[in-house]
Structure 1
Amino acid sequence: MSDAYTDGAAADNSTIERFLNDHTLKRVGAAIAGAFTLAVGVLLYFIIDFANPDLFVRIIPRFLEAFVLVLGIVAGGSILSIPLGIFVGLGRVSKTRFTNAISTGYVEFFRGTPLLFQLIVIYYGIPALWIQNFGDFPISNWAIPAAIIGLMLNHGAYVGEAIRGGIGAVPEGQMEAARSLGMSYVQAMREVILPQAWRNALAAIGNDQVILVKDTSLLTVIAVPELISEFRQVNSATFDPWTPIILVAILYLCITIPLGKFVRYLEARSDWGGGDRR
């Protein structure tokens, strides 16, 4: 009985090994990739065939205006979220309990609540509190500043966690060696630890910035005239969803693809250990 069970298990293992060899896996992978490419091609054919070229040309100017606005919001949110995230990451590894607790609470709140909720609180809540306590709200067009602030605060938490992880990946001996050379804790962190932590965290930070671009689609709920807002207006007026959808997809990809290439370039430049630096 034992020998029969052993022989059966060996046969099963042999079948699995034959299936999992490199040649079979390559064929399966190629077949899946081919089927996916074919499905995408068929979908694109029907979408393009369904689109209205005249409407496409007419709506391009308004979508380009929204595209420029999105670029500005992305630049503002990204430029502000990265230094904020660095400070949050440093706070997360701080040995001072108060600093660590504040940074941890910040991260838990902004990672634990939806960005949509945060945008609504900032856009509607802050003016309401101001009016109740101080009178008229001083900013007439609050939607765009609220969008930048919301993206900054939300993604600053994610960048902070990436920096914390990057610092944690630096060997402890690096800090000890820097302190033994007479550096203060701040000097060692600035000159030795943070450059290495930045390299470790760069991929996660880059991915977060791509997500930030896509998160701008939520700004339609606070009356920012971004790409999804323009899509909704065109669709409501023409009852043609596919033509503006194609334009929205193209414009988002015009941001995310170059951004992804830029992040990969930075990763290659920061590969101090060698590799292809072309």
Structure 2
Amino acid sequence: MAETYTERREVERPAEGEEGVLTDRRVKWIGMAVAGLFTAGIVFFLFLILTQFVDYDLLVTIIPQFVDALLLVFEIIVISGALSLFFGVLVGLGRVSNTGFTHGISTMYVEFFRGTPLLFQLFVVYLGIPALWTNSVFPISNWSYAAAIIGLTLNHTAYIGEAVKGGINSVPEGQTEAARSLGMSYIDSMRFVILPQAWRNALAAIGNDLVILVKDTSLLTVLAIPELISVFRNVNSATFDAWTPIVVVSVAYLVITLPLGKTVRTLEERAMWGTER
């Protein structure tokens, strides 16, 4: 007579004391041990750097330069981030548009700026646009600053647009049908029904892109903008001290990214209020 499923399970079940090597409890303790060793290594490395390789007399003298650079970076981040969010919503709406021309243009925009390096895009804006003025003087004097904002905005608009598109597509189609059945126009249904839900769905991806935007400002050193990496290079060239400015740069970026990440997590929690998690 054929064995039942229960009988087969009894045969296959290992005897007591003969469990597999990777039990749940062992995996838990292995994970804790690996995490502990990694943390201990990082702490030891930081202690070694801070006690043996950082020149605190030099640190006091260079901090004002890094503060100025940090303020400049923060200003560029705020302007570029706000513009990227605004235009990203428009690009995201274009990506889900039923109009072929609008959908095609927004798709080509996203594919170009996601498919080419940000450094290349910065060079196109910084060097390419002034080259168009062949018979006259380029009218903008502080072009490197403007080029930095334009380049970062164009690049991150594409990524935020894709995040908005994904957020819109994740909203159930019945929401749109319900809004239209109530007499709402397409614009009103998008404004009052779809986009609020899409924002909640896309918030994590948008927040991640804003953190990447902070780190992308390090590329602005190629535009001769006195941001954090430029100041680091100047200090290193003048003093031949690498670790002292490295520590300052690390802290400066974390001063921006850690509160930004905390803000995004808080917004996610507020957006998820009242919903099943």
1:27 maps to which of 29, 40, 60: 29
Query: TM (normalized to structure 1)?
Result: 0.91
Shift of 1:25: 2.3
Structure 2 residue aligned with 1:3: none
Task: Please state whether the residue corresponding to 2:101 is helix, strand or coil.
Answer: helix
Query: For each residue in 1:66-109, what CA deviation from the matched residue of structure 2 results, as whole angstroms up to 9, or x when unmatched?
Result: 00000000001100000111000000000000000000000000
Shift of 1:15: 4.9
Structure 1 residue aligned with 2:79: 76
How is 1:92-131 mapped onto 2 (pairs within 5 angstroms)? 92-129=95-132, 131=133
Shift of 1:181: 0.3
Distance 2:165 2:246 in 1: 38
Shift of 1:47: 1.1
Structure 1 residue aligned with 2:230: 229
Distance 2:107 2:23 in 1: 44
Structure 2 residue aligned with 1:216: 217
Number of residue pairs aligned between Structure 1 and Structure 2:
265
Distance 2:160 2:213 in 1: 11
* Match status 1:39 vs 2:47: no
Q: Which portions of structure 1, spanning 4 or more consecutive aligned residues, are displaced by more than 4 angstroms?
A: none
Query: For each residue in 1:226-267, what CA deviation from the matched residue of structure 2 results, as whole angstroms up to 9, or x when unmatched?
Result: 000000010011110000000000010000000000001111
Q: Which amino acid aligns with 1:118?
A: Q
Shift of 1:20: 3.9
Q: Which amino acid aligns with 2:219?
A: L
Distance 1:122 1:170 in 2: 36
Shift of 1:273: 3.1
Q: Which amino acid aligns with 2:29?
A: R
Identify unmatched segments of 5+ residues in structure 2. Answer: 1-11
Query: For each residue in 1:108-159, what CA deviation from the matched residue of structure 2 results, as whole angstroms up to 9, or x when unmatched?
Result: 0000000000001100111111x22x61111111111111111111001000
Distance 1:162 1:47 in 2: 39
Task: Please state whether the residue corresponding to 2:129 is helix, strand or coil.
Answer: helix
Structure 1 residue aligned with 2:7: none
Structure 2 residue aligned with 1:240: 241
How is 1:198-217 mapped onto 2 (pairs within 5 angstroms)? 198-217=199-218
Task: Please state whether the residue corresponding to 2:94 is helix, strand or coil.
Answer: helix
* Match status 1:87 vs 2:105: no
Structure 2 residue aligned with 1:6: none
In structure 2, relative to structure 1, the CA distance for the partners of 1:10 and 1:115 (3 Å cut) is farther
* Match status 1:267 vs 2:262: no
* Match status 1:64 vs 2:61: no
Query: TM (normalized to structure 2)?
Result: 0.92
Shift of 1:26: 1.8
- Greater share of helix: 1
Identify unmatched segments of 5+ residues in structure 1. Answer: 1-8
Task: Please state whether the residue corresponding to 1:19 is helix, strand or coil.
Answer: coil
How is 1:162-173 mapped onto 2 (pairs within 5 angstroms)? 162-173=163-174
CA RMSD of aligned residues (A): 2.0
Q: Which amino acid aligns with 1:225?
A: P
Task: Please state whether the residue corresponding to 2:138 is helix, strand or coil.
Answer: coil
Distance 2:35 2:235 in 1: 35
